[in-house]
Amino acid sequence: MTKVKVFVTLKESVLDPQGAAVQGSLAKMGYGEVADVRIGKYLELTISETTRDIDSVVKEMCEKLLANTVIEDYRFEVEEEN
């Protein structure tokens, strides 16, 4: 089994009103040093034995479904597991 961690975040150019609300709360709590908050998604994929190239398959999944590249960026980490 291989574990893949996928991180999906809004592009820099896209406003994140949820993040702005959280930043506002943090500031009110006394954490004024927080300059910006961006909220994203974290997905864990457990991949069973495959002959396909994991990197290219996960990239395909991200492009086709897991992220909307009009508004989101993604990156992923592949971890071997025993």
User: Which residues of this chain interact with another protein, rule CB under 8 A?
Assistant: 13-15, 17-18, 21, 41, 65-66, 68, 70-71
Order across the sheet with 72-80: list the strands. Answer: 40-47, 2-10, 72-80
Task: Give the nearer residue to another protein in terms of CB position, either 42 or 82.
Answer: 42
CA distance 79 to 82: 10
Distance, CA of 37 to CA of 45 (rounded, Å): 25
- For another protein, which is the closer residue by CB, 43 or 47? 43
Q: How far is the CB of 37 from another protein (least distance, A)?
A: 14
Q: Which is nearer to another protein, 32 or 69 (CB)?
A: 69
